[in-house]
């Protein structure tokens, strides 16, 4: 993947194109300088990168992300249907089932939310809030595990 400064269109949002081109807003870089590091210690910045990196992964899985995303964005512009919106499942299994059947933008948003929940939990100070954040992060473990398993090639068959 190639990382660039977003200069065209809505420069407050990240964007990815075919070929692993990821364009991030200046606010994502230390000191607003694209020659500096991304501010990945901030859950939102890490979430945006995770969202766009997930689109790259979807493309590697054979999905026509750009075409589908353009159609979804057109529907949002024309009919007000938010392509990122989803209602989180109550259990990890329900969340995984919803993730598996979601369209490309919903999946990437769910992935972003999973990454942000994990970072927020890991950065939380000890206390009651940490337990709530840990529970929120654990809800995503089934999704994280499923995505990880998609990247693992199946074992070679045993030769008799």
Measure the CA–CA gap between 105 and 91, rounded to whole angstroms: 21
pLDDT of 96 above 90 = yes
Cα–Cα separations (whole angstroms), residue 149 to 26, 45, 103, 145, 155: 34, 25, 19, 6, 12
Summarize the confidence of residues 32-52 as an average pLDDT: 90
Tell me the C-alpha to C-alpha distance, in Å, between residue 52 and each of 8, 55, 153.
Answer: 16, 5, 23
pLDDT digits (tens, 9 = 90+) for 62-76: 888 989 988 998 998
Give the pLDDT band of residue 93 (cuts 50, 70, 90).
very high
Domain map (residue ranges) of the chain: 43-150
Distance of alpha carbon 4 from alpha carbon 13, whole angstroms: 13
- 136 or 19: which leads in pLDDT: 136
pLDDT of 97 higher than 70: yes
| Euclidean distance between CA atoms 98 and 79, whole angstroms | 23
What is the C-alpha radius of gyration for the chain, rounded to an integer number of angstroms?
17
pLDDT at 98 (0 to 100): 94
Q: What is the pLDDT of residue 102?
A: 95
Give the tokens for residue 131: 């337990």
pLDDT at 53 over 70: yes
What is the rounded CA–CA span in Å between residue 12 and residue 16?
Answer: 14
């Amino acid at each position: 993947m190639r990382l660039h400064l977003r200069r065209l269109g809505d420069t407050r949002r990240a964007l990815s194109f075919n070929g692993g081109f990821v364009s991030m807003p200046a606010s994502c870089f230390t000191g607003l300088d694209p020659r500096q590091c991304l501010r990945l210690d901030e859950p939102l910045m890490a979430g945006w990168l995770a969202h766009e990196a997930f689109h790259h992964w979807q493309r590697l899985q054979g999905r026509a992300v750009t075409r589908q995303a353009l159609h979804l964005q057109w529907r949002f512009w024309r009919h007000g249907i938010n392509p990122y919106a989803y209602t989180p499942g109550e259990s990890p299994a329900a969340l995984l089932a919803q993730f598996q059947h979601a369209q490309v933008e919903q999946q990437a948003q769910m992935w972003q939310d999973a990454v942000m929940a994990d970072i927020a939990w890991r950065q939380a100070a000890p206390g009651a809030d940490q337990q709530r954040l840990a529970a929120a992060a654990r809800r995503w473990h089934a999704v994280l595990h499923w995505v990880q398993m998609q990247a693992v090639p199946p074992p070679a068959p045993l030769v008799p």
